[in-house]
Structure 1
Amino acid sequence: MSLMLKFLATLLLLSSTTFAATDAQIVKFLKDGIGKNPNIISLDIKILDKQKVKEPSGWDAYIVMLSGKAKVNGKEQAISQSSVYFASGNTITPELINIKTGQRLNNTISPNFSSAYYKKENLISGSSASKHKVAIFSDPLCPFCKRYVPDAIAYMKKYPETFAVYYYHFPLPTLHPAAVALTKAAIVAEQQGRKNITLGMYTISIDPREHDENKIVAAFNKTLNTNVKVSDLHSKKTMQHYNSDQNIARMLMVNGTPTVFFDGKKDPNKQAYKAVKVK
């Protein structure tokens, strides 16, 4: 659990209270609650977005960014965390769950996809002039991604005038440590001018728990006939692309894979592209 999530967990005791739910008071409530932690050195809270919840009616979803500094094991550390809170009348809560379906409404709320995030280096199919923009955050060693991403991309690549597909590397290092080196190798190969590397990643056979970069790069080169060196994984150019993808994911509150945005909106079911009529 991240440092900020531990701090946020303390708010569960304060999750429902009575006060006028204005934007300013929501910020003050959160700041007062988290600020009581003695390890907090400084704290800034900003509302990034406010969205109406379709169901249940009468609720607003607040997307907030919490940032600052805290003491961790005696050392000062920067903290940064986006989170969602729901407010209705005199009540604020960090979670809403549909008791009929079991769906956490938190999973349906996300900041809108900024046009600045549609970067040339992330475009793998179509063009900026395509009718629809689809953004995919994925880990090539994630079982769910393996079942969804290759087929979805292969389908949309058939219709470049209809779909612009933007791919963002989002490995899950805790679950699949090998995916970090694998995605960096893909970035290197892309920068070397290799095509279709994204789909190629999903064909590589490697233990997701592997940590040895030499073994991972060797498997990558053997499968895709590339010439990536381990040192390339840590080059400034590679890390700029890799860190850019992670920062965009953080700003959009992406925490699982695959995560899909369709025309700037989060697509929880990841099937919006199938509803588009193509020629």
Structure 2
Amino acid sequence: MSLMLKLLATILILSSFLRADASSEEVEQFLKKMFAGNQNLKSLKLKVTNVTDVKGHDDWKAYYVEFDAILKKDGRQVVQKMVWFSNGEVIAKEIFDIEQAKDMNEMVSLPMKPEHYKKENLIYGNENAKYKIAIFSDPLCPFCRTFVPEALEYMKKEPNKFAIYYYHFPLESIHPAAVELVKAAIALELKGAKDVVLNLYKVNIDPREKSNEKILAEFNKVMNSNIQSFDLISKEVSQHLQSDLKIADSLMVNGTPTMFFNGVIDRTKMKYKEAK
């Protein structure tokens, strides 16, 4: 459980304050009031950033909330995004659909916006293709290493049907080597190389490796390239990676691989095979 969740706890609040048509501002004020007495927090900023419907539960809405807190104990800043649900009478952090045996969090997602489909993220296909596929992945994620190359090979054959957008999302806490690996991939792409992402999944390196020399040696061997350490610290490489991470954060992507099919998260990851 995250630090913010430990501080705020998962609670179910019955309230006459919220109405069925409660606005984002009313939800914000209600949550601020509830957390105002938390002795662990020196200060707290709270904002509802998005509101969406809950599929199959028309009387419920999902409120995407960003917490920005300063801890009283050591002055650390903790920023976290989370989803709260309300039907106007009850507000809760977690709710389960008994019939479907699902957490309601699995029934909601933020949609991709036009500005998320950046030219530099289009690795295959025509931007005007019928289907826009977005993939957020870590090249050292075990499942990604099998799934992503297969999906790319399948879709790249039909460039007028699929526009494939790829976003680097290295999971640094469990695969520290992935960070330098994706920087090398970005650097090579900036030099005009093709199929870099597809070949990225062929690089065999210990996910916990921290030696840039070893990481680059394996990368260059697979890519038949000559990327050097100084290439990884260029402004262009940093901007591209930060852009990818920012988009992932705005969509609350927290695992790999995460796929979007025409702007909507595809939890099955198989809609591309069903596309006509």
- Residue identity in the other structure for 1:93: A
Aligned equivalent of 1:60: 61
**How far is 1:160 from its partner?**
0.7
> Which runs of no fewer than 5 residues in structure 1 stay unpaired?
none
**How far is 1:11 from its partner?**
3.3
**How far is 1:221 from its partner?**
0.5
Aligned equivalent of 1:253: 252
> Which runs of no fewer than 5 residues in structure 2 stay unpaired?
none
Distance in 2, Cα, partners of 1:6 & 1:176: 21
- Residue identity in the other structure for 1:17: L
SS of the counterpart of 1:95? Answer: coil
**How far is 1:42 from its partner?**
4.2
Aligned equivalent of 2:26: 25
Residue 95 in 1 paired to residue 88 in 2?
A: no
Aligned equivalent of 1:146: 145
Distance in 1, Cα, partners of 2:36 & 2:188: 46
Aligned equivalent of 2:242: 243
The root-mean-square deviation of aligned C-alpha atoms, in Å, is: 2.0
Number of residue pairs aligned between Structure 1 and Structure 2: 272
What pairs with 1:1-279 in structure 2 (closer than 5 Å)? Answer: 5-12=2-9, 14-19=11-16, 20-21=18-19, 22-23=22-23, 24-38=25-39, 40-67=41-68, 69-71=69-71, 74-77=74-77, 79-99=78-98, 101-277=100-276
Q: Which digits, 9 at most, give the CA deviation of each residue in 1:223-253, with x for residues without a partner?
A: 1111111122122111101111111110000
Q: Is the 8 A contact 1:122 1:168 kept in 2?
A: yes
Structure 1 range deviating more: 174-183 or 22-31: 22-31
Structure 1 range deviating more: 100-109 or 120-129: 100-109
- Residue identity in the other structure for 1:9: K
Q: Is the 8 A contact 1:11 1:33 kept in 2?
A: no
Flag the 1:13–1:202 CA change in 2: closer, same or farther, 3 A. Answer: closer
Flag the 1:39–1:127 CA change in 2: closer, same or farther, 3 A. Answer: farther
**How far is 1:97 from its partner?**
2.3
**How far is 1:6 from its partner?**
2.0
Distance in 1, Cα, partners of 2:101 & 2:9: 19
Q: Is the 8 A contact 1:185 1:228 kept in 2?
A: yes
**How far is 1:82 from its partner?**
1.9
Q: TM-score by structure 2 length?
A: 0.91
Q: Percent identity?
A: 44
Distance in 2, Cα, partners of 1:51 & 1:161: 31
Distance in 2, Cα, partners of 1:104 & 1:13: 14
**How far is 1:167 from its partner?**
0.2
Distance in 1, Cα, partners of 2:72 & 2:209: 29
SS of the counterpart of 1:46? Answer: strand
Distance in 2, Cα, partners of 1:48 & 1:127: 32
Structure 1 range deviating more: 183-192 or 22-31: 22-31
**How far is 1:154 from its partner?**
1.1
**How far is 1:143 from its partner?**
1.2
Q: Is the 8 A contact 1:188 1:238 kept in 2?
A: yes
**How far is 1:102 from its partner?**
4.0
